[in-house]
Structures are given as structure tokens and as C-alpha cells.
Amino acid sequence: MFIDIDDIKESVLSRSYSKTFNDFPVLEEMVNAGECDFISPIDIKLNVKRNINVIEVTGNIETKARIQCGRCVEKYETFIGPAFSLTFVPEEGEDPDGLLDDEIELSTDDMQVVNFSGGMIELKDSVQEQLILAFPVKPLCRESCKGLCSNCGANLNDMKCDCENEYINPQFAALKNLKIDK
Ligand SMILES: [Zn+2]
Ligand SMILES: [Zn+2]
């Protein structure tokens, strides 16, 4: 996912890609570690605009993943579709025109800045990062998920157990599902 900045002419350059998790090392690690599965391709749409040596990239990523509910520890499917804006600026010493300082002040107030070198923008790491940031911090299979009984581990979405203790501690419940390797 490289873009040669010399390919960005006066108008906006549009690119789209369809990737899989194998194309992104950290996503592959997450899948191998059982943290998530990707159940559709990772579709990426980018618009790239060049302002002298400052390159602005706006994009959308869309995919579907299967992740674990933080309460009941069941896997569920969720749509992940972050939109993002990134500003790429040449690495120090790669601004032959010396125009960079003015440009940055104009455009990067609320944008994330990434360095590039050799006249090429590499988008894989940035796309991967944006996708990971879009994963829910507190994944829930549904708003009303009742979680697991902290006493017997029953999934209270499926059944009502006979325990008196109604307090749900998802961390404790999750521990019950851990297998210990010897
Ligand atoms: Zn749940
Ligand atoms: Zn119970």
C-alpha cells in the first residue's frame, strides 16, 4: 500500500484496496492469539491530496470481525468502520523546498501527523493502527448482556441460575474459562 507522491497531481487521488488480516502483521497476531476473527475482507478507501510536500489522506476502513463479549465471553460479530484523516510530512532533512513549516501550521491542528521518506507514503501501518483503534474498548454482544454468574459461571443470557449472588464479575467469570497449560 505505497503511494508515490509524484502520482498525486492537482486533483485528489483515490485508491481502494481489499485486504485480509494476513496483510497486517498485528492483526494476524490478534487472530492467532484468538482475540478476534475477521469474517469479511478489510476494505479500504482512500482520498489523497497533495499540498506541496504535505500529503493529506482521508479514508474509510470497513470490515466485520468476531470478537469476545467482555461480559458473557461469548463471541459475537460486529462491524468495524473507522474513518480517519492523516497528514504525511517528509522526514527531517527531506524537505528540499523548505516550505514545510508554513504548511504544517496551516493544516495539522487536529490531524495526526506521520513522517514519510523517499517520496513514498506507506499506508499499511497507518491503516492497521486505525483499524485497531476502532475496536471497542468494552465489547458487548448487546447493550443488555447479562453476563455470567460470578458463582457458577452460567451465561445469564441463556438461563437463570439458582445462585443467590446476583453480582456479576466478568473478570472472575472469564478466569473460569481459562485452560491452564502444564
Ligand atoms: Zn455478552
Ligand atoms: Zn449462578
| 118-157 pLDDT, tens digit each | 999 999 999 999 999 999 999 999 999 999 998 999 999 9
Which residues have C-beta under 5 Å from ligand 2, the single-atom ion? 149, 151-152, 154, 161, 163
Q: How far is the CA of 76 from the centre of ligand 1 (A)?
A: 8
Strand ranges in the chain using DSSP code E only, listed in sequence order:
2-4, 13-19, 36-38, 42-51, 54-68, 75-80, 83-90, 112-116, 120-122
Q: Phi/psi of residue 46, each to 5°?
A: -130, 140
Which pLDDT value is given to residue 93? 74
Residues 95 and 176 both lie in one domain = no
Assigned domain for 40 exists: yes
Q: Is 111 found in the same domain as 34? A: yes
pLDDT digits (tens, 9 = 90+) for 34-77: 999 999 999 999 999 998 889 999 999 999 999 999 999 999 99
Q: Are residues 70 and 24 in the same domain?
A: yes
